């Protein structure tokens, strides 16, 4: 059931897959991440300066876009596992992604799609007196933005799984190779992010918005060509049919036989197909476990089921175990929502902090929108040194052959994220007090020359380290633990958790703004547009407190999880 096949569905006889095929797939992921991060860092600024939207609503709109693009990844995973397979899902949705990026480029290039920019300076933007975008202009921008989100939703759950499919499960060093694959995979993600935070920002400053967004579309177009060139080398897994249907069948059958007894005289045994072949295409058989015993009744074979049972009344043990695995996996990615929430807050809050600080590095002045590149650089450094420095160190501490188990890496990432946001609160308190003491309280768009923005590197580097341990460990965990025929859905769990983190950031910001601010009394909220009268430090410490609670929940679930 897990035999790799070629693009025509025939078993593979010749040598295919391996690292060569994987590197073609890395190129597609690098361009997708470049576009994703390029939009996340630039679209807020584009909406504020070009479309003349308030900064808060611009940030919330982009957070919603990021959330939808990740949370809807379960759709791409479902389509891949059920009908198209991972290759064709990537091929279709990467084309949709390119269409969306082209539409965004047109929006930034053609004056008809943006409001007039005459007589609109920085003061006018702050006062909201610039010409507002027409409703149809915003509708067009949102349509092409969400077409891009749809493309990302189809690609994200499939790329890592499709890349991991290129390696032979029967080889002796499979687990070690898979461990290296996910590290290299996230390295390609990081390179895409670094390019987005540097080259794309530079293009925007020197050549304008049209060429900046156009460069993202060009990169995606080139990556599509590279991906299709590698087609003869790829290994494929047959789609196993609708996972939702199989899950529904188990739930209906378990409910239908809820009153049946394992000790009944009608009980024949737990149902499974004879021989080695599984009833599910693209899946091997899964042994019975004692978890969620109530679901076992879906596989409870009674005499009345006959020789040709109704799949809505009787399911195989493998089908029941698939549902059990999906349920057991849920708590782990759920605990990573907090990391995504922190990352989302950093994308906007840290940029606002950087606007008030000195961003000169010697004679070189870095643009504020380049600041998020530093987590990427720390990730790049960690991944480059992982096998030479970190893995041997962790191996001595844990005794694990790969340095640390997948769940240990996830937990380490969550712990470091708490340190990152705790430091962010400490520095923000110092920065705010410095601004008030030196007369910058109401000059929040003026950089303070004697306070360097590079103090932000501590929180940036810590969150970068947290991200690499947590997300790489999570992706590897979900791929190895998910059922054979549901690996794209399993990978989608990580993307959904990321999307929920974006939504949670928007909800938290709205709650904090409404609870802590009172415009009628002239009392600014913690998230005041004037960062020097707001209290970003309180929000950071709130995030640290929530992170501690989340980490305790993770420890509870991780200690009780049994690997397959």
In degrees and rounded to multiples of 5, residue 562 shows phi and psi of -110, 120
Mean pLDDT of 345-361: 80
Could you say which of 278, 295, 321 is where a domain stops? 321
Which of 318-327, 388-397, 432-441 shows the lowest mean pLDDT across its residues?
388-397
What is the pLDDT, as a whole number, of residue 2?
58
Same domain, yes or no: 168 and 97: yes
What is the pLDDT, as a whole number, of residue 420?
94
Mean pLDDT of 83-95: 90
Question: Which of the four pLDDT bands, split at 50, 70 and 90, describes residue 397?
Answer: confident
Residues whose CB falls within 8 Å of the CB of residue 519, separated by 6 or more in sequence, listed in order: none
Could you say which of 300, 321, 342 is where a domain stops? 321
Q: Is 208 left (phi over 0), alpha (psi -120 to 50) or beta?
A: left
As a whole number of angstroms, the distance between CA 504 and CA 133 comes to 28
Closest CA to 297 of 319, 277, 275: 319
Mean pLDDT of 81-95: 88
Query: Residue 534 above 80 pLDDT?
Result: yes
What is the pLDDT, as a whole number, of residue 303?
80
Mean pLDDT of 37-41: 82
421 or 304, greater pLDDT: 421
Question: How many Cβ atoms are within 10 Å of 225's Cβ, its own excluded?
Answer: 9
Q: At what angle do helices 18-49 and 209-229 cross, to 10 degrees?
A: 160
Closest CA to 475 of 237, 72, 164: 164
Q: What is the mean pLDDT of the chain?
A: 84
Residue 363 Cα to chain centre, angstroms: 36
Q: What percent of the chain has pLDDT over 70?
A: 95
Same domain, yes or no: 1 and 80: yes
What is the pLDDT, as a whole number, of residue 556?
95
Query: Residue 208 above 60 pLDDT?
Result: yes
What is the pLDDT, as a whole number, of residue 144?
92
Which of 183-192, 200-209, 520-529, 550-559 shows the lowest mean pLDDT across its residues?
520-529
The model's pLDDT over 449-462, given as tens digits with 9 standing for 90+, comes to: 888 888 888 888 89
Could you say which of 206, 239, 272 is where a domain stops? 239
What is the pLDDT, as a whole number, of residue 128?
66
Domain membership of residue 316 as a residue range: 243-321
Tell me, letter by letter, the H, E, C secondary structure of 423-474: HHHHHHHHHHHHHHHCCCCCCCCCCEEEEEHHHHHHHHHHHHHHHHHHHHHH
Same domain, yes or no: 247 and 235: no
Same domain, yes or no: 250 and 190: no
**In angstroms, what CA-CA distances link 176 with 234, 236, 239, 382, 468?**
20, 21, 26, 18, 18
What is the pLDDT, as a whole number, of residue 519?
65
What is the pLDDT, as a whole number, of residue 171?
79
Query: Residue 101 above 90 pLDDT?
Result: yes
As a whole number of angstroms, the distance between CA 338 and CA 505 comes to 9
CB 107 within 8 A of CB 141: yes
Closest CA to 351 of 365, 368, 366: 368
Residue with tokens 């900046």: 212
CB 314 within 8 A of CB 298: yes
Q: Tokens for 195?
A: 């390019």
What is the pLDDT, as a whole number, of residue 3?
66
As a whole number of angstroms, the distance between CA 40 and CA 152 comes to 13
CB 82 within 8 A of CB 511: no
Same domain, yes or no: 219 and 278: no
The model's pLDDT over 478-529, given as tens digits with 9 standing for 90+, comes to: 888 888 778 878 888 888 888 888 888 888 988 998 888 776 677 788 888 7
Question: How many Cβ atoms are within 10 Å of 336's Cβ, its own excluded?
Answer: 25
Looking up residue 110, the CATH number of its domain turns out to be 1.20.1250.20
Same domain, yes or no: 93 and 13: yes
Question: How many Cβ atoms are within 10 Å of 363's Cβ, its own excluded?
Answer: 5
Query: Residue 426 above 90 pLDDT?
Result: yes
Same domain, yes or no: 194 and 54: yes
Closest CA to 166 of 23, 32, 31, 8: 23
Question: Which of the four pLDDT bands, split at 50, 70 and 90, describes residue 140?
Answer: very high
Q: Tokens for 370?
A: 């380049």
Question: Which of the four pLDDT bands, split at 50, 70 and 90, describes residue 267?
Answer: low
188 or 10, greater pLDDT: 188
The model's pLDDT over 405-415, given as tens digits with 9 standing for 90+, comes to: 889 999 999 99
Residues whose CB falls within 8 Å of the CB of residue 556, separated by 6 or more in sequence, listed in order: none
Q: What DSSP designation does 84 have?
A: I
Question: How many Cβ atoms are within 10 Å of 266's Cβ, its own excluded?
Answer: 12
The model's pLDDT over 119-139, given as tens digits with 9 standing for 90+, comes to: 777 667 666 677 888 889 889
Query: Residue 400 above 80 pLDDT?
Result: no
DSSP letters for 509-538: HHHHHHHH-BTTTTB--TT-SSTTTS-HHH
Strands 267-270 and 300-302: antiparallel
Query: Residue 274 above 70 pLDDT?
Result: yes
Same domain, yes or no: 335 and 360: yes
Query: Residue 180 above 70 pLDDT?
Result: yes
Same domain, yes or no: 314 and 369: no
Mean pLDDT of 219-226: 90
Residues in the chain: 564
Whole-number CA gyration radius for the chain: 25
The model's pLDDT over 475-490, given as tens digits with 9 standing for 90+, comes to: 889 888 888 778 878 8
What is the pLDDT, as a whole number, of residue 558?
92
What is the pLDDT, as a whole number, of residue 96?
93
Query: Residue 228 above 70 pLDDT?
Result: yes
Query: Residue 145 above 80 pLDDT?
Result: yes
CB 338 within 8 A of CB 431: no
Same domain, yes or no: 143 and 55: yes
Number of folded domains in the chain? Answer: 3
Residue with tokens 């004037």: 530
Q: What percent of the chain has pLDDT over 90?
A: 19
Residue with tokens 């946001």: 421
Same domain, yes or no: 115 and 26: yes
As a whole number of angstroms, the distance between CA 89 and CA 92 comes to 5
Same domain, yes or no: 233 and 256: no
In degrees and rounded to multiples of 5, residue 11 shows phi and psi of -55, 140
As a whole number of angstroms, the distance between CA 222 and CA 441 comes to 48
């Amino acid at each position: 059931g897990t035999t790799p096949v070629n693009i025509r569905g025939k078993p593979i006889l010749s040598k295919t897959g391996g690292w060569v095929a994987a590197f073609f797939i890395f190129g597609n992921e690098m361009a997708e991440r470049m576009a994703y991060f390029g939009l996340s860092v630039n679209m807020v600024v584009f909406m504020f300066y070009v479309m003349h939207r308030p900064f808060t609503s611009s940030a919330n709109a982009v957070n919603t876009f990021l959330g939808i693009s990740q949370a809807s990844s379960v759709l791409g995973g479902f389509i891949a596992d059920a009908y198209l397979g991972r290759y064709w899902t990537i091929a279709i949705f990467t084309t949709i992604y390119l269409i969306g990026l082209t539409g965004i480029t047109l929006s930034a290039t053609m004056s008809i799609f943006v409001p007039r920019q005459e007589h609109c300076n920085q003061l006018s933007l702050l006062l909201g007196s610039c010409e507002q975008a027409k409703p149809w202009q915003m509708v067009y921008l949102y349509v092409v933005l969400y077409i891009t989100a749809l493309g990302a939703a189809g690609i994200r759950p499939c790329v890592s799984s499709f890349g991991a499919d290129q390696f032979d499960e029967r080889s002796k060093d499979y687990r070690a190779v898979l461990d290296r694959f996910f590290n290299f995979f996230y390295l390609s993600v990081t390179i895409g992010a670094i390019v987005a935070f540097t080259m794309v920002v530079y293009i925007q400053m020197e050549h304008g918005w049209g060429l900046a967004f156009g460069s993202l579309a060009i990169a995606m177009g080139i990556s599509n060509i590279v991906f299709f060139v590698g087609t003869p080398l790829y290994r494929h897994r047959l789609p196993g049919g609708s996972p939702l249907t199989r899950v529904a069948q188990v739930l209906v059958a378990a409910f239908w036989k809820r009153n049946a007894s394992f000790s009944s005289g009608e009980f024949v045994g737990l149902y499974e197909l004879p021989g080695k072949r599984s009833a599910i295409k693209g899946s091997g058989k899964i042994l019975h476990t004692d978890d969620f015993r109530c679901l076992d009744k879906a596989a409870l074979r009674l005499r009345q089921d006959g020789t040709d049972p109704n799949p809505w009344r009787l399911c195989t043990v493998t089908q029941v175990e698939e549902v059990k695995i999906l349920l057991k996996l849920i708590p782990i990615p759920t605990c990573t929502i907090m990391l995504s929430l922190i990352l989302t807050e950093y994308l906007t809050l840290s940029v606002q902090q950087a606007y008030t600080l000195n961003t000169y590095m010697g004679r070189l002045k870095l643009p504020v929108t380049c600041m998020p590149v530093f987590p990427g650089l720390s990730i790049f450094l960690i991944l480059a040194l992982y096998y030479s420095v970190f893995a041997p160190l962790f191996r001595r501490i844990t005794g694990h052959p790969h340095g640390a188990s997948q769940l240990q890496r996830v937990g380490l990432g969550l712990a470091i994220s708490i340190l990152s946001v705790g430091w962010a609160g400490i520095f923000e308190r110092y920065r705010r007090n410095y601004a008030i003491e030196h007369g910058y309280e109401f000059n929040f768009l003026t950089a303070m020359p004697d306070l360097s923005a590079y103090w932000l590197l501590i929180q940036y580097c810590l969150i970068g380290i947290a991200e690499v341990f947590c997300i790489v460990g999570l992706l590897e965990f979900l791929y190895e633990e998910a059922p054979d025929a549901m690996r794209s859905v399993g990978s989608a769990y990580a993307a959904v958790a990321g999307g929920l983190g974006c939504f949670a950031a928007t909800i938290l910001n709205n709650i904090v703004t409404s609870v802590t601010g009172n415009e009628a009394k002239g009392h600014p909220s913690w998230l005041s547009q004037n960062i020097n009268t707001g209290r970003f430090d309180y929000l950071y410490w709130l995030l640290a407190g929530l992170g501690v609670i989340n980490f305790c929940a993770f420890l509870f679930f991780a200690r009780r999880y049994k690997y397959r």
